[in-house]
Structures are given as structure tokens and as C-alpha cells.
């Protein structure tokens, strides 16, 4: 019986690609350039499984029309708002993701952003590299203290909880959070956190706000102009979730007008495009979507995909099935 044909849309860790090659008839994107809509549509027609990443856009129209060979999308990542789940389901295509394995590394990046913006690390690093630092002075690049401040978390899933743990037990911060569903107070207390009823309640008391909610329609522009205005004037916004959770133009205006103090971003609305106005701001730290970018985590993510598609083609339920 022929092995299933698999397309890996971007380069993955070599160890994972080797396992895929052992088990399946694998095609790799050797150029490691994101596929366009025409190429993705052809992949759905020609392969039994397509293994996409956040850089691959799979809207509803890609699933329309001609017969599709693809039976499963093994997504490399926990977020899947770049895939039209309803359209995939309507064509009988299963979708899986990779939860759990990137929790700690993403929480670490959120902490890195928080500290970098608060202590003006990005500005200082640029000064040193440009040869512009003239020596220590009492008023040079004065930032804001982190210890003892209040951090507000939007979304208290795995990553939100890991971030809360770092903030409270690592930096002595007070932690409040908003979550769509109620969290047992005893469970929240394990992370030094307290749930508040609304997003606005969290924004009103937080010196730092960190987003850890899913992307997609239900949370698109959750942080809009009115919610940015509801933040404390000296507050800092951190986003390691998905770019569309923030109205980017409203954020730019809030930063330019001094509505908030600064921002740390790892994700953007139209990746890899980052607005010029954001790139020119000194009070913003910008990272190129590094949340899961460690050797250990990226390998674990790839092996999650391997486990999911192996189970599927063996006739078993994939452990991380979304639809």
C-alpha cells in the first residue's frame, strides 16, 4: 500500500523532517518561502496531508471547487486562525494543532518583552550599537519598575498561567486576569492570580497588560481604541498571542498620543509586514514572532504533528484534533 503523500509547507527541524521521511512520502519546501494561494490550492488537490504554519493563509475560497485529495491539515502551531476551520470541516478535512509544548517558551518571550519595554532595553541596545552612548548618568534611559506592579492577563489558558507564575513568583507582581470562562479561585491562586469580571476591570488596574487569548473572529481587535484608552496612562501592552487581537492602527495612535507608555509585540496583523510608524517608535520592542523559537520547542511541535498525522492515517483519533 503506498505511503500517504505529505507536503511540509516550510522547513522544520531536521530531526522531525527525518521522522516524516521515514513514515511518509514527503515533499519539503526546500526554499523555505511561504506558499501563495495558488500553490496552497494545488497542495490541497495533490497531497493526502498538508502541514501548514502560521505563514500559510487557508481561507474558505481555497477549499471551494475541484475535488480535494487532502484529508488532514497537521498545523505546526497551537493557533489556527489562519485556517478557515468551518470550510475545512465542510470538505471533510481534519485539522490538528500542537498545544502544550510551546507554553513555557512563549511565556518567556512575553516576560522578555515586558522587561525590555519597562527597562527600555531596546533603546539602550540600539544606542550602544550605534556608538551613541556617552556614559552613565542619573537621568539616562530611566524606565519603570516591574517588581510590585500589577500585571493584567487577558486569557488564562496554559500560556497565561505560565506567564502569571513568572510574574508573581519571579518578580513579585500582583496578577489579575480576565478569562471568558470562570476559573476556580483556588486554581487561580496557584499562580498568584485573581480573576476579574471584565476586560475593562483588568485594564483599569494594570500597569502591564499581556494578551494570551486566541486569535480569530471572536477576538479580532479585542484591544481597540476604546480599550486602549481604558488602560492606565503609564501602562505597557504586551502581545504574544495573535496580531489580529490588537487594532494596530489604534495602537499606533495610542502610542503616538501618549495614551499608553509603550508596547512589546511578537505578532502582527499582517505578518511579516510591520507598519513603518511602529518600527520608528522608540517606546516599542518588536520581535519577529519568536514565541516558540527554541530548538527544543520547535522539535516538540513538529513531533506533535507527526503523532497527529500518524494516528490519523493509522485510523486512530489524532490526539490534538481541532475539527
Residues marked active site are found at: 242, 271, 289
Q: Map grid coordinates 518571550 to a residue.
A: 109
Alpha-carbon distance 116 to 58, whole Å? 34
Alpha-carbon distance 110 to 104, whole Å? 10
Q: What are phi and psi of 244, to 5 degrees?
A: -75, -5
192 by Cβ neighbours in 10 Å (0-12 / 13-18 / 19+) ranks as middle
CB 178 within 8 A of CB 199: yes
Between β-strands 94-96 and 150-154, what pairing exists: parallel, antiparallel or unpaired?
unpaired
H/E stretch holding 211 reads strand 208-211
CB 260 within 8 A of CB 233: yes
Q: 75: which 3 cell numbers?
A: 498545523
DSSP assignment, residue 273?
B
CB 39 within 8 A of CB 60: no
Q: Map grid coordinates 505597557 to a residue.
A: 236
Inter-CA distances, 64 with 69, 74, 134, 297, Å: 13, 19, 61, 34
CB 73 within 8 A of CB 58: yes
- What b/e string do you get for 67-79 counting C-beta neighbours within 10 Å, with b at 16 or more? ebebbbbbbbbbb
Q: Map grid coordinates 520581535 to a residue.
A: 287
Q: Map grid coordinates 519568536 to a residue.
A: 290
Amino acid at each position: 500500500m503506498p505511503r500517504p503523500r505529505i507536503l511540509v509547507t516550510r522547513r522544520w527541524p531536521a530531526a522531525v523532517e527525518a521522522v516524516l521521511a521515514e513514515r511518509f512520502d514527503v515533499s519539503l519546501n526546500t526554499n523555505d518561502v511561504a506558499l501563495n494561494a495558488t500553490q496552497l490550492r494545488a497542495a490541497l488537490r495533490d497531497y493526502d496531508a498538508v502541514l501548514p504554519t502560521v505563514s500559510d493563509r487557508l481561507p474558505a475560497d481555497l477549499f471551494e471547487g475541484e475535488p480535494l485529495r487532502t484529508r488532514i491539515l497537521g498545523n505546526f502551531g497551537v493557533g489556527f486562525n489562519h485556517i478557515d476551520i468551518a470550510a475545512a470541516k465542510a470538505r471533510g478535512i481534519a485539522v490538528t494543532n500542537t498545544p502544550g509544548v510551546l507554553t513555557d517558551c512563549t511565556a518567556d518571550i512575553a516576560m522578555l518583552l515586558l522587561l525590555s519595554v519597562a527597562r527600555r532595553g531596546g533603546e539602550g541596545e540600539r544606542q550602544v550599537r550605534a556608538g551613541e552612548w556617552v556614559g552613565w548618568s542619573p537621568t539616562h534611559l530611566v524606565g519603570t519598575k516591574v517588581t510590585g506592579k500589577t500585571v493584567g492577563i487577558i486569557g488564562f489558558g496554559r500560556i497565561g498561567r505560565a506567564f502569571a507564575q513568572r510574574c508573581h513568583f519571579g518578580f513579585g507582581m500582583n496578577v489579575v486576569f480576565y478569562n471568558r470562562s470562570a476559573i476556580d479561585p483556588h486554581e487561580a491562586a496557584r499562580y498568584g492570580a485573581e480573576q476579574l469580571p471584565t476586560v475593562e476591570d483588568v485594564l483599569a488596574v494594570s500597569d502591564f497588560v499581556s494578551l494570551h487569548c486566541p486569535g480569530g473572529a471572536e477576538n479580532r481587535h479585542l484591544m481597540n481604541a476604546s480599550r486602549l484608552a481604558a488602560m492606565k496612562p503609564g501602562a505597557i501592552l504586551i502581545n504574544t498571542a495573535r496580531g489580529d487581537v490588537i487594532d494596530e492602527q489604534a495602537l499606533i495612535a495610542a502610542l503616538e498620543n501618549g495614551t499608553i507608555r509603550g508596547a512589546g509585540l511578537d505578532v502582527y496583523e499582517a505578518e511579516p509586514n510591520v507598519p513603518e510608524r511602529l518600527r520608528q517608535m522608540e517606546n516599542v520592542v518588536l520581535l519577529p514572532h519568536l514565541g516558540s523559537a527554541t530548538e527544543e520547542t520547535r522539535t516538540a511541535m513538529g513531533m506533535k504533528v507527526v503523532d497527529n498525522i500518524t494516528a490519523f492515517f493509522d485510523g486512530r483519533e489524532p490526539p490534538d484534533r481541532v475539527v
